[in-house]
Structure 1
Amino acid sequence: MATRTPWTAPLDDAETTHWDAVAVEVAAVLATDALARDRANAEPDAELKLLKESGLATLLIPSQYGGGGGHWSSALRAVRILARTDASIAQILSYHFCNHASIVFFGAQDRWEHWFTASAEGTWLWGDSVNPVDPDLTLTPDGAGYRLNGRKRFSTGASTGDVTLVMAAEQGSVDGGARVLASVVEHDRPGVEYLDDWDALGQRLSASGSVQFTDVAITADDILGVVGEEPYSTLVTPGVQLGFANLYLGIAEGALRQARSLTLQRRGSWLLSDVDHYSHDPFVQRVFGELLAKTAAAEALTDRWNARFDRVIARGADVTAADRTQVEIGIANAKVVATETALEVAHRVFEVTGSSSARSEVGLDLFWRNIRTHSLHDPLDYKKLEIGAHYLTGAVQPITLYT
Structure 2
Amino acid sequence: MASNGFPNGSTNGHLHPASDPAVYDKYRPRWEILPQTADEWLARASEVKEVLRQDAVQRDLENKTPRAEVALLKHSGLLKVLGPKRYGGGEQPWHVGYRLIREVAQGDGSIGMLLGYHLFWSQTANLVGTPDQAEALHEFIISNNLFLGGAVNPRDNDLSIKSEGDTLIWNGFKNFNTGGVVSDLTVLEGVLEGTKDHIYTVVSTSQPGIQFAHNWDNVGLRLTESGSVKIDNVVVPWTDALGWNPQTKRPIPNVLEIPFVSLLLPTIQLVFSNFYIGIAQGALSTSAAYTRQHTRPWPYSSDPKTSALDEFYILERYGNFHAHLVAAAALADRANAAATQLYETYNYHRDGDNRGGLTARERGEFAETVAAVKVVATDTGLRVTSGVFEVTGSKATSRKVGLDRFWRDVRTHTLHDPVAYKNRELGRYALLGEVPEPTWYT
TM above 0.5, yes or no, is yes
Which of 294, 304, 313 in structure 1 is aligned with 2:334? 304
Per mean C-alpha deviation after superposition, the further-off stretch among 313-322 and 74-83 is 313-322
Which of 376, 379, 397 in structure 2 is aligned with 1:340? 379
Partners of 1:208 and 1:228 in 2: CA distance? 28
Partners of 2:145 and 2:134 in 1: CA distance? 16
Which of 116, 132, 148 in structure 1 is aligned with 2:138? 116
1:3-402 to structure 2, matched below 5 A, reads 15-172=37-194, 177-225=195-243, 228-266=256-294, 268-273=296-301, 274-316=304-346, 317=355, 318-402=357-441
Partners of 2:230 and 2:57 in 1: CA distance? 30
Partners of 2:209 and 2:277 in 1: CA distance? 38
Deviations 1:59-78 (A, max 9, x none): 11111232111111111101
Contact residue 364 and residue 437 of structure 2 kept, 8 A: no
SS at match of 1:224: coil
Deviations 1:133-182 (A, max 9, x none): 1024100111211111111111111111110111111103xxxx221100
Identity %: 38
Q: Which runs of 5 or more structure 1 residues have no equivalent in the other structure?
A: 1-12
Contact residue 298 and residue 337 of structure 1 kept, 8 A: yes
Contact residue 161 and residue 190 of structure 2 kept, 8 A: yes
Partners of 1:94 and 1:268 in 2: CA distance? 38
Partners of 2:359 and 2:54 in 1: CA distance? 46
Partners of 2:295 and 2:403 in 1: CA distance? 18
Partners of 1:103 and 1:58 in 2: CA distance? 15
Shift of 1:280: 0.5
Partners of 2:88 and 2:144 in 1: CA distance? 10
Taking structure 1 as the reference length, what is the TM-score of the superposition? 0.93
Deviations 1:358-389 (A, max 9, x none): 01110000000000001101100001111111
How many matched pairs?
Answer: 387
Match of 1:7 in 2: none
SS at match of 1:196: coil
Amino acid at match of 1:189: Q
Q: Which runs of 4+ in 1 moved over 3 A?
A: 226-229
What value does the CA root-mean-square deviation take over the aligned residues?
1.5
Partners of 2:379 and 2:406 in 1: CA distance? 14
Amino acid at match of 2:146: W
SS at match of 2:299: coil
Contact residue 138 and residue 171 of structure 1 kept, 8 A: yes
Indicate how the Cα distance of structure 1 residues 261 and 215 shifts in structure 2: closer, same or farther if over 3 A, else same: same
Contact residue 295 and residue 392 of structure 2 kept, 8 A: no
Contact residue 229 and residue 399 of structure 1 kept, 8 A: no
Contact residue 158 and residue 189 of structure 2 kept, 8 A: no
Indicate how the Cα distance of structure 1 residues 229 and 307 shifts in structure 2: closer, same or farther if over 3 A, else same: same
Partners of 2:238 and 2:124 in 1: CA distance? 16
SS at match of 2:199: strand
Per mean C-alpha deviation after superposition, the further-off stretch among 219-228 and 40-49 is 219-228
Shift of 1:268: 4.2
